[in-house]
Amino acid sequence: MNLNELQNVWNSPRNNLPTEAQQRLADKFTRQMIRRRRFQFFWLINTFFWLTVITVLAIRMIAVGQTTSQEWGLFPLLFVPWGFAVHFLRRYLKPVTPVTCGETTIVDSLRAALVANRETRSHLKLVGILYAIMIPLLAVAMRQLYTVGKVSERELISMVIFFGAVLLLGGAGIAARYFARVLPQKKQLDALLTELTGEAR
């Protein structure tokens, strides 16, 4: 979309709805955000509850000597889900940028979209880092389970296939969203802002 197309859309009748229609859309959006926040709240409670239970059990196993020296890799593996949980908690607690009343210029809207894009890129990068940390820890944990005889060779192969497929699909989804959607969107926003303001970005 070039600058002229953007201005046409911005000034189109569909973008200048009557007050009643604007209020209905605002109410609908507010209800959706409330439902989303409520779901995130209960998801975080459930996640932290079970992570706490698993961590306490792991610590108890260490305290009573129910683990061997060859199973230490299972415990660093807990850092990964805790990292994901803390990351999503921070996003949940992060205050939303207040919406300004009145009309917003195209430049201000594009800048706000660019800020949101930057936050999304940072989020995807962090999730990617957590994925990268999880892969070697998971490999060590599975190897140790096999070494101490907790899983057979067939079960180990099944675990490798399952977790490998999950990590591959998850990583591919993150990479696809970053390189095919978020990054091109950033370039497009930069180009539009440069065209509007004359400032190189």
Identify which of 26-35, 47-56, 155-164, 172-181 has the greatest average pLDDT. Answer: 172-181
Kindly report, residue by residue over 44-80, the tens digit of the pLDDT.
Answer: 999 899 889 888 887 777 666 655 555 566 677 777 7
Residue 1 tokens read as: 């979309």
For residue 184, what pLDDT band results from cuts at 50, 70 and 90?
Answer: very high
Residue 180 pLDDT greater than 90, yes or no: yes
- What pLDDT is attached to residue 132? 86
pTM, rounded to two decimals: 0.66
156 close to 146: Cβ distance less than 8 angstroms: yes
Distances in whole angstroms, Cα of residue 48 to Cα of each of 24, 26, 57, 188: 36, 33, 14, 39
3-state class (DSSP) for residue 31:
helix
Identify which of 124-133, 134-143, 175-184 has the greatest average pLDDT. Answer: 175-184
Number of independent structural domains in the chain: 1
Domain, as residue range, for 145: 3-95+104-197
- What pLDDT is attached to residue 172? 92
